[in-house]
Amino acid sequence: MSFIKQKEFAIILFVLPLLFLLFNYYTGIAEPAASELINWGSYLWNFSMIIGTYSLFRVHGTNIAKKGKDWSYSVVIFISFVTYFVASYVSPDVFKLILDYIQTPIMLTIWMGGFATLTMVFRGARTKSYLGVLLLLGSIFTVLRMAPIGPLIWPGFHTIGMWINDVPNMAVMRAITIVMGVGLIATLVREILGKETHYLGD
Amino acid sequence: MNVVGEFIFAAIILMIWSVLYKNNPFYKLISSMSVGLMLAFWLKGGIDAIIKDVLRPALLDMNLARFAVLVLGVVMFLRFYKGLAFASKWPIAILAGVGTAIATKGAIPTMILSQIKVGSFVSSDILGNVNNVLIWIGVISTLVYFMFSFKHGPVVGGISKIGQVYMMIAFGVIFGQYVYGTSVMAQMLYLLKYPGYYATIIAVLVLAASIVREKNKTKPAEETKA
Amino acid sequence: MLPGKNFDLIIFLLTVAGMYLFMRKAEGGRLPNIRSIPLLEELDSIIGRAAEMGRPVHYTTGYGGLHDEWAVMCVAGLAILSKVAEMCGKYRVWLQFTCFRGYLVPIGQDILKTGYEKGGAPEMYTPDMVTYVGEDQPAYIAYIMDYFMTERPAVSMVFGAIQAEMNNILMQAARVNAISLAGTPRLYYQGKMALMCDYCLLGEELYVAGASITSDPVHLGCIEAEDWFKMGIIALLVIAAIFTTLGMENVLQSLINW
Amino acid sequence: MTEKKKWYNISMDVQDSLVYFILILLCGTVVLYPLGIPLNVTKETREYYDALIAVPEGGVILYDEAYMVQSYVTGSEITMFRMMFDLIREKDVKLIIVSSCVDGPLGGAMIDKLLAEGVDKTGTTYGVDYVNFGWLPGFELVLSSISKNIQTVTMNDAYGTPISQIPMMKDLTTADIDVFCFSCSVSADPWMRQWGPLHKPILMSGGSSLIAQAMPYYESRVLTAYLNGARGLAELEQIYGKFTIATALMDATNLASLYGIALILYSNIRYQMGRRKMQ
């Protein structure tokens, strides 16, 4: 019984499905079991999401109970969660209304993408070295290649833009894809050997 | 055409934009509402999927595999019970194992092997040859830039400097596409259409009022200082 | 064996064996000598400048935590945090660490406490140097946009698994003229970092910086193994170039799809 | 005597709000009064159109809707759905719609909205010509189970009917699927890793900021064709003939890009001037 409590048992439970899926990938044996195990992954992910929700409510619950900082906004979180969750099961048309007229504008605007772009362009373009100038040239030609107005001003923008996209960008993206692939395998090796146990949360 | 809905749509956009001026209760309200709504949205998706693919097959059709998933899912909730908290790590370990396996098994063929393609240097069209040589040099110099355990002498340093030049142009392409792709067009549409522009007018008035109040608050302070 | 996967398996087994050997070598004490990372050298002078300006330093490790697949990036970010905390102790600068996950709060507080003690200013450390704003991105972005405008930090540091909030952090750091440092392997943000930051860690440099600070043998061994793997890829590229010029590219192609 | 403030030395915060105000003004006017700048159709969009049209008689298309909220608002993904439903009518094609959207169930809501209002479904019956799996959590796990066996992806579809009772899904395997389409906003890597080894035509559409990263896959033929972001959607509408908001927003995007470039040049030149004056 004590062995089950050890961390090693959890590492074994991590390594076994991993090796089985790799074995199935290379040999193609036990195909139905492999696809069942992959589906298990997404269903367990659902359960872990419910736990994440519970931990967030604990944080905001104590915040309300202790009347901590901005506790009134924690109340807003609870109210909006309950109304939206109940509406999704009880009355679908209220759910659609909230989705179309409240959640959609929030998701459309909350990340402030448009303004972040402008500040970066306006403030960031102060290049200190020739590398920065190269970066700006690359982005200017890319924007003019993609904007329909670019070729109207000078058709050369499209040809140079395409060249930048096809040669330097292709080379670097290929190299970075290779580097990322190697990084993935390195992480896998560390996890198989039990040196990397982030999933145990320690 | 739900007029009230469209007005609320525009009002929420303006409330979020107000954080550019200063963090204010409007933005905090919307930000916390987004937390609650997003949570409910995700939870409904997750619970529907669990009912659809785990509960119904496990309990109604007695599918043994899905029953095991149900047990593992319930075991995950033991983390709040001191005695059996160690057991709650098992399902998460299995989940992490499956996730790592499918991410890595596809990595070698697509991310590494299919990248080792070199265009011919001696084909008919000259420009194609030059481009292929430049791509080949670019891939090798960028890989050399990402080598850390080799001493950066004159040769290796020079090659990685070439790699840096390639990378800056390529990152310029990524930044250029971000600048082109990200814009406030879709939001503008709603701020200037029929019910939306009332919200815009109200927002401009509120902004002007707060700027004026801000000026009055700081001016008397300066007079006392002078 | 499924057709077309034999070469794939050979490369996989070679990599796993190579990484295991280099890890064993690094754990045996023979650590690889990693080339200097320009950003780590400049950290000292940057925090010195922050001390002259008398304004705080802001540090965050971003949206990724220790429980998901971005754990490696977050661990490297925390390693750099320990070095920054030590320097902030030395120059007596207030270091504000904004974290995104509940379990990072105690970890952050321990790192800051030991950092300030090592730096020689243990009395300067207070637990509320670590702020936790909840697990959601919009709340995190709102807090950061507010913090930068009110506190106006001198230095903004972002190391770890960053997502959409990187745009807002770089935006606000530029608006308050803060010295901006950033490092993340996520490809999508390399362009923004290279343009907006004074010093940045491109691609895998974050892992190397984290590992060289903690001199953790496992990661250092992996880094050296990856370098040899990349050397192998370059060799394959050279062979591929020779084959294609000789007009025999299908030979290599058949080997890869063997 | 303090130096008289030049017009460009006003405080940085005011300059920032000025920059934002000009953007709002610029895009606002263009959105209301479109300039109608002509849009030339590029090679990539033509390739995408031909690859989608070239699905064999009675073939199967799988469409993974995982794009961000942008397309939910502007509905710009509608052209692909219209083309696919035309194919159902003309070439008796089967269509599987699924959403592995990493941003949550919005992908499922997106499909329901397009199927309900956007597409005319005359002559096609649900369950025989097309099936909607709805949003499936797990992102890359869903893509992996699709590449392994389409039957086990989910037990029942978005409306609750079990897969076994859907006539179209009777003994349908992943090998029968002829064209894989996906629209995504994050990065194309997961799709390439999972669907690449199947060696079937893969078509990408979605955000424009992930095309640079997908170029190696496009060049090594893992990715067959791609749409050039919002501009690609507008071009596809030009080829297809029916227009939506995507084309209307094109003019505003044009001016916003020029405005961005003008800002880059302006701030760079002013910075270099300032540095030279300091030396």
Three-state DSSP state, C138: helix
The model's confidence at residue B167, banded by pLDDT at 50, 70 and 90, is very high
CA dist D100 and D182 (Å) reads 10
Three-state DSSP state, D127: coil
Closest CA to D159 of D125, D138, D131, D123: D131
Residues of C in contact with D16 (CB under 8 A): 175
Which residues, 6 or more positions from D6, have their beta carbon under 8 angstroms from its beta carbon?
Answer: none
Chain center to CA of D90: 25
Q: Is the minimum CB–CB distance between C243 and chain A shorter than 8 Å? A: no
**Mean of pLDDT values over B63-79:** 85
Which residue do the tokens 């139905």 mark?
A: A32
The model's confidence at residue B17, banded by pLDDT at 50, 70 and 90, is confident
Pair A1, A75 in one domain: yes
CATH code of the domain made up of C38-214: 3.40.50
Closest CA to A47 of B208, D2, B43: B43
CA distance A25 to chain B (A): 7
Closest CA to D55 of D92, D5, D8: D92
CA distance A21 to chain C (A): 13
Other Cβ atoms less than 10 A from the Cβ of D90: the count is: 11
> Which amino acid does the sequence have at D265?
L
Whether residues D216 and A107 touch (CB distance < 8 A) is answered with no
CA dist C40 and B145 (Å) reads 17
Here the tokens at position A96 are: 């659609």
The pLDDT of residue D2: 46
Q: What percent of chain D has pLDDT over 90?
A: 10
Here the tokens at position D157 are: 């579809």
**Mean of pLDDT values over A108-129:** 78
Pair A132, A189 in one domain: yes
Here the tokens at position D34 are: 């479109």
Here the tokens at position D141 are: 């796990």
Q: Mutate which of D45, D193, D228, D264 to disrupt the A interface (most A C-beta within 10 Å)?
A: D264
The pLDDT of residue C154: 92
In a domain, residue A41? The reply is: yes
Whether C69 has a pLDDT exceeding 70, the answer reads no
CA dist B43 and B46 (Å) reads 5
Whether residues B116 and C149 touch (CB distance < 8 A) is answered with no
The model's confidence at residue A202, banded by pLDDT at 50, 70 and 90, is low
Taking only the tens place, the pLDDT of each residue in A16-60 is 998 898 888 888 888 888 888 888 888 888 887 777 777 778 778
Closest CA to D51 of D238, D236, D243: D236
Closest CA to D88 of D64, D115, D53, D116: D53
CA dist C130 and C123 (Å) reads 16
Three-state DSSP state, D90: helix
Whether B225 has a pLDDT exceeding 50, the answer reads no
* Biggest alpha carbon–alpha carbon distance for chain C: 71
Q: Between D175 and D254, where is the model more confident?
A: D175
Taking only the tens place, the pLDDT of each residue in A130-162 is 888 888 889 889 888 888 777 788 888 888 988
The pLDDT of residue A150: 79
Contact C204, C74 (CB under 8 A): no
Q: Is the minimum CB–CB distance between A176 and chain C shorter than 8 Å? A: yes
Q: What percent of chain B has pLDDT over 70?
A: 95
Pair A76, A141 in one domain: no
CA dist C31 and C217 (Å) reads 7
Whether residues C177 and D12 touch (CB distance < 8 A) is answered with yes
Q: What is the rounded average pLDDT for all residues in chain A?
A: 84
The pLDDT of residue A145: 85
Contact A21, B101 (CB under 8 A): yes
For A82, B145, C190, D228, the CA distances from C204, given in Å and listed in that order, are 43, 10, 11, 29
Whether D5 has a pLDDT exceeding 60, the answer reads no
Q: What percent of chain C has pLDDT over 90?
A: 18
Element holding D142 (H helix, E strand): helix D140-148
The pLDDT of residue A172: 92
Contacts of C179-183 spanning 24+ positions with Cβ under 8 A:
C179/C46, C179/C49, C179/C50, C179/C154, C179/C155, C180/C155, C180/C156, C181/C39, C181/C46, C181/C155, C181/C156, C181/C157, C182/C157, C182/C158, C183/C39, C183/C77, C183/C80, C183/C158, C183/C159, C183/C209
Closest CA to C92 of C130, C140, C124: C124
Contacting D residues, span 15-44, partner chain C, CB-CB under 8 Å: 16
Q: Is the minimum CB–CB distance between C150 and chain D shorter than 8 Å? A: no
| Residue of chain A nearest C20, judged by CA positions | A189
- For the entire predicted model, the pTM comes to 0.84
Phi, psi of D162 (to 5 degrees): -60, 150
For B6, B190, B197, the CA distances from B3, given in Å and listed in that order, are 5, 12, 12
The pLDDT of residue B36: 87
Three-state SS for B79-136 is HHCHHHHHHHHHHHHHHHHHHHHHHHHCHHHHHHHHHCCCCCCCCCCHHHHHHHHHHH
**Mean of pLDDT values over B71-99:** 83
In a domain, residue A40? The reply is: yes
Here the tokens at position A70 are: 């901005």
CA dist D269 and D264 (Å) reads 9
Q: Is the minimum CB–CB distance between C249 and chain B shorter than 8 Å? A: yes
B interface toward D at CB cutoff 8 Å? 20-21, 38, 41-42, 44-46, 49, 52-53, 56-57, 98-99, 102-103, 106-107, 109-111, 114-115, 117, 170, 173-174, 177-186, 188-189, 191-192
CA dist B111 and B122 (Å) reads 27
- Domains of chain D, earliest start first: 57-222 (3.40.50)
The model's confidence at residue C181, banded by pLDDT at 50, 70 and 90, is very high
Pair A78, A129 in one domain: no
For A198, B23, B46, D115, D166, the CA distances from D96, given in Å and listed in that order, are 37, 45, 21, 13, 12
Contact A146, B180 (CB under 8 A): yes
B208: burial class by Cβ within 10 Å (0-12, 13-18, 19+)? exposed
D168: burial class by Cβ within 10 Å (0-12, 13-18, 19+)? middle
Domain that holds residue A182: 125-196
Residues of D in contact with B181 (CB under 8 A): 207-209, 229-230
The model's confidence at residue A85, banded by pLDDT at 50, 70 and 90, is very high
In a domain, residue A141? The reply is: yes
Q: Is the minimum CB–CB distance between C164 and chain A shorter than 8 Å? A: yes
Phi, psi of D98 (to 5 degrees): -140, 160
> Which amino acid does the sequence have at C45?
S
The model's confidence at residue B220, banded by pLDDT at 50, 70 and 90, is low
The model's confidence at residue D202, banded by pLDDT at 50, 70 and 90, is very high
Which residue do the tokens 């592995």 mark?
A: D100
The pLDDT of residue B226: 45
Residues of B in contact with A177 (CB under 8 A): 111-112, 115
Chains that touch A (3 or more CB pairs under 8 A): B, C, D
In a domain, residue A108? The reply is: no
Chain center to CA of D256: 20
Q: Is the minimum CB–CB distance between B112 and chain A shorter than 8 Å? A: yes
- Tell me which DSSP letter residue D2 carries: P
Whether B92 has a pLDDT exceeding 60, the answer reads yes
In a domain, residue A101? The reply is: no
Closest CB from D16, D155, D217 relative to B53: D155
Which residues, 6 or more positions from D155, have their beta carbon under 8 angstroms from its beta carbon?
Answer: B52, B53, B56, B57, D162, D163
**Mean of pLDDT values over B105-130:** 82
Chain center to CA of D57: 26
Whether B202 has a pLDDT exceeding 70, the answer reads yes
DSSP secondary structure string, chain B? Answer: --HHHHHHHHHHHHHHHGGGT---HHHHHHHHHHHHHHHHHHHHHHHHHHIIIIIIIIIIS--HHHHHHHHHHHHHGGGGSGGGGGGGHHHHHHHHHHHHHHHHHTHIIIIIGGG-----SSSS-HHHHHHHHHHHHHHHHHHHHT--SS---HHHHHHHHHHHHHHHHHHHHHHHHHHHH--SHHHHHHHHSTTHHHHHHHHHHHHHHHHHHHHHHHHHHHHHH-
Contact A44, B73 (CB under 8 A): yes
| Strand boundaries in chain C, DSSP class E | 57-60, 95-99, 130-132, 155-159, 179-184, 199-202
Whether C197 has a pLDDT exceeding 70, the answer reads yes
CA dist C61 and C85 (Å) reads 14
**Where are the domains positioned within chain C?**
6-30+220-256, 38-214
Contact C103, C65 (CB under 8 A): yes
Taking only the tens place, the pLDDT of each residue in B178-200 is 888 776 777 877 888 778 888 88
Whether residues B115 and D220 touch (CB distance < 8 A) is answered with yes
Whether A107 has a pLDDT exceeding 60, the answer reads yes
Which residues, 6 or more positions from D67, have their beta carbon under 8 angstroms from its beta carbon?
Answer: D77, D101, D107, D110, D183, D184, D185, D205, D206, D207
Contact C95, C112 (CB under 8 A): yes
| Residue of chain B nearest D249, judged by CA positions | B185
Q: What is the rounded average pLDDT for all residues in chain D?
A: 82
Using DSSP bridges, classify how beta strands C130-132 and C155-159 pair: parallel, antiparallel or unpaired.
Answer: unpaired
Pair A134, A188 in one domain: yes
Q: Where among A82, A112, A144 does a domain terminate?
A: A82
Whether D4 has a pLDDT exceeding 60, the answer reads no
Using DSSP bridges, classify how beta strands C179-184 and C199-202 pair: parallel, antiparallel or unpaired.
Answer: parallel
Number of domains in chain A: 2
Element holding D248 (H helix, E strand): helix D245-278
Here the tokens at position A178 are: 């290779």
CA dist D218 and B17 (Å) reads 38
Pair A61, A8 in one domain: yes
Taking only the tens place, the pLDDT of each residue in D153-200 is 888 888 888 888 888 888 888 889 999 999 887 778 888 888 888 889
